Amino acid sequence: MPDIPRAFIVNNNAKRILAHTVEEFGFEEQQVIYYYCYLSMPVDGIAWLLELSELHVTSVLGLYSERVKSLLTFFKKALPHDANDGLHIKEILI
């Protein structure tokens, strides 16, 4: 998962948009994202816990990562930020 520049986390609008990205997924997929990003659980552990295939878990995480990267590309063009001041993605999930 990409790191999120601190400027995007302290900007309420950017943080809300990034956090809303998780809400676009179904409940099961949201669980995958939270277990992986917030609890740092491994893919095989998530698959076992949620009774999903590892392929499904990996696909969800890949799609989520791509959506976040797309938003970050936009925000990096629109908002001032320090590229060296990144935070873990779980900061938007809190």
**Which pTM value belongs to this model?**
0.87
Residue 58: predicted pLDDT? 98
Q: Where are the domains of the chain?
A: 4-92
Stated as kind and residue range, the H or E segment containing 4 is: strand 4-5
Q: Which CATH architecture has domain 4-92?
A: Orthogonal Bundle (1.10)
63: left (phi over 0), alpha (psi -120 to 50) or beta: alpha
pLDDT in tens, 41-63: 999 999 999 999 999 999 999 99
Average pLDDT over every residue of 83-87: 89
pLDDT at 2: 86
